[in-house]
Chain A
């Protein structure tokens, strides 16, 4: 019968396909394992030779270690790993070693023409090399690579190791106009805030979207850039609650007493996350003028506000602590939170 034959064929086809695929996989695995063993041995051997070659005392960084592309790739990997581990003379010798063995040339080619993974790896290899060609290649990748992760790692390479383009080019290259709050971007901003804060200040002042603004403010405060103060004060009255909350968090981090002028608004903000950050800010900076307002927040409807307000009073010491102690006698939400925070303080001491 025809129907039966078709069904039998289907059965046999599926079973055959499954068997063939598994056989293929096992064979593939066998070869991969053997290659992995060979590569592992080769890598180990190379690591040992690299360690000897970059020893400032006796090493010869011009020693030819590899002659093929597979070897160069291994060496590139090892080089990146060591770049994160050593500084000083060892690192300089390591860079020379990579140059002499053609690793840099290979990375330049792969950055331009390789598949995504290779391109991403190439940005990491090229990052520490300051010669013009490498910087230019990274810049090209930053602006023209179709893959966002390659662009991002090119940005890291340029920011961390020099050659960072202007902020406006960086914004355009990383498509920041989409206003996504990625923490990768924050990590990049943190580097920029350390190395080149003026650029970041310009970006924050340029009326960018709230998400990018939050990241920029956060990075500036973390790096302790006092010039960000006017921007932060202005941001405390931003339309978006997230921005206001970040402004108070960053003011707390900067610890500047100028926060006093905007704090009353923050402690009275309709959004609780803003009140939380404002309370923490008052405590961090020790603005005793707000003792009364903070005591008022001890029966806020939101636990986080109550808790942070009590914590802030405790941090202020003196007057704040006194207020906390007197509230602790009460039989209500404010009294409870005051008692608990006081006992937490005792235990921590």
Chain B
């Protein structure tokens, strides 16, 4: 028996090794390509200080936007958050807070904070959601509407908000994120430039950890002091500067973060709104919009705005971070397999080849293959089938590639946006680019394997306190 199996196993060693190496090389190749594309995009766009000019010339013609704020157990902070949302710089917008059956006093806090009274309001029953218990407002805050509904999850709350909004665009934001005062103005720019083709716009999200936030505004940008948020700062830079811009450039955006995205209301409705049965409702809706637009056969664009518009607090404990990453991984897999017919399907053009191809490589195959590599090569070495030198070289190469990609993103940030105030911050981030390869990256991949496992077992999701940001690498 053994005589049969052993040669068979041995004959497998080489193909498996090459498969792992090939996948790794393909991933890194994609990252290099993304860096180049992002660089090209930013270079063409140039550094933009046009905030004020924009406001002056286009304030009258900017389309009205409904800000949808799903809230679940946010008693402590909700009033403050809503106050800062109401103070955004934009000609015409309304804030619709959807209390998703919170167990705490979120609704009471809002009613007291803004002196709200129950009202009746007619709404479009375009999307399904759990029953609405009441609608509240105060004539003194004409642009604020608070909706109280039975608990149904974030997607459900957003659907209710879409139904109630009466504006052509909506912007889904998290209750706990901090927006730049001209966030809406910046993100509406693609709609201003090309209202016919633009169907959705995503904004860049950064970490609020380490920044000074005063009265709902980021007044000074800084790096977090603790290691875990610092490591995530690097991930956010990579995800938004390199990943999203590259996809935007290629017209194959597959994700707009749930923390901030502007959509055309009627298209979101036609696409069926947010899906209840996934933890990745933010990827899911973009893919649904892609499908809808492809079926219509008209040109369309999903765009990305490189300037930071939204600041969010990153988890600083390992257990919360682990849950977040498991969730993200599951959401990506759910969407990928639900729409797998789009993969390499010529009907879906770039989104099928590039968008889904990337998901296959980075989200679906990436984590298991990389973890397999962690086990496989040391095993070969232990069996004396691999030179010590080669083992070290493989490890070093994996690290060096990782460092190079991170440094590439830092260069983009520094050349085009320069949001970190001190030269020292750059050095710290360079250090992080090295350190993240020694432990953090591996930990992330293990979490993603957990996500895979949960996906396979079909564990049910609950209300996501976590917002996906979607990193290009674990």
CB proximity of A27 to chain B, nearest CB, Å = 8
CB proximity of A270 to chain B, nearest CB, Å = 17
CB proximity of B22 to chain A, nearest CB, Å = 15
Q: By the criterion CB–CB under 8 Å, are A184 and B58 in contact?
A: yes
Q: By the criterion CB–CB under 8 Å, are B46 and A304 in contact?
A: no
Q: By the criterion CB–CB under 8 Å, are B124 and A337 in contact?
A: no
**Is A26 an interface residue, CB under 8 A from the partner?**
yes
**Is A57 an interface residue, CB under 8 A from the partner?**
no
Residue of A nearest to B390 (CB): A4
**Is A130 an interface residue, CB under 8 A from the partner?**
no
List of A residues within 8 angstroms of B433 by Cβ: 18
**Is A29 an interface residue, CB under 8 A from the partner?**
yes
Bound Cα distance from A8 to B397, whole angstroms: 8
**Is B219 an interface residue, CB under 8 A from the partner?**
no
List of B residues within 8 angstroms of A29 by Cβ: 414, 418, 423, 426
Q: By the criterion CB–CB under 8 Å, are A183 and B196 in contact?
A: no
Bound Cα distance from A186 to B192, whole angstroms: 9
CB proximity of A145 to chain B, nearest CB, Å = 16
Residue of B nearest to A33 (CB): B423
How many residues of A are counted as interface, with CB atoms below 8 angstroms from the partner's CB atoms? Answer: 46
Bound Cα distance from A180 to B194, whole angstroms: 7
0/1 per residue, A324-349, Cβ < 8 Å to B? Answer: 00000000000011011101100110
List of B residues within 8 angstroms of A7 by Cβ: 393, 397
List of A residues within 8 angstroms of B63 by Cβ: 183
CB proximity of B62 to chain A, nearest CB, Å = 7
Q: Which range holds the interface residue count of chain B? A: 35 or more
Show 5 A/B contacts (Cβ-Cβ < 8 Å), sorted by A.
A18-B433, A184-B57, A337-B122, A341-B122, A347-B137
Q: By the criterion CB–CB under 8 Å, are B122 and A340 in contact?
A: yes
Bound Cα distance from A68 to B396, whole angstroms: 52
Q: Which residue in B122, B404, B423, B426 is a CB contact (below 8 Å) of A344?
A: B122
Which chain A residues have a beta carbon within 8 Å of chain B's beta carbons? 4, 7-8, 10-11, 14-15, 17-18, 21-22, 25-26, 28-30, 32-33, 81, 84, 116-117, 124, 156, 180-184, 186-187, 190, 211, 303-304, 307, 310, 336-337, 339-341, 343-344, 347-348
Q: Which residue in A17, A84, A184, A344 is a CB contact (below 8 Å) of B120?
A: A344
Q: Which residue in B137, B390, B400 is a CB contact (below 8 Å) of A15?
A: B400
| B354-401 CB contacts (< 8 Å) to partner A | 389-390, 393, 396-397, 400-401
Q: By the criterion CB–CB under 8 Å, are A4 and B389 in contact?
A: yes
List of B residues within 8 angstroms of A340 by Cβ: 120-122
Bound Cα distance from A337 to B123, whole angstroms: 9
Which chain B residues have a beta carbon within 8 Å of chain A's beta carbons? 46-47, 52-53, 56-58, 60-63, 119-126, 137, 139, 191-196, 389-390, 393, 396-397, 400-401, 403-404, 407, 410-411, 414, 418, 422-423, 426-427, 430, 433
Q: Which residue in B139, B195, B426 is a CB contact (below 8 Å) of A26?
A: B426
Q: By the criterion CB–CB under 8 Å, are A184 and B193 in contact?
A: yes
Known: A184-B192, A186-B61, A340-B121. A26 touches B397 (CB 8 A): no
Q: By the criterion CB–CB under 8 Å, are A190 and B194 in contact?
A: no
4 additional contacts (CB under 8 A) given A10-B400, A14-B403:
A18-B433, A84-B52, A303-B123, A307-B122
Residue of B nearest to A80 (CB): B53
List of A residues within 8 angstroms of B60 by Cβ: 187, 190
Bound Cα distance from A183 to B62, whole angstroms: 8
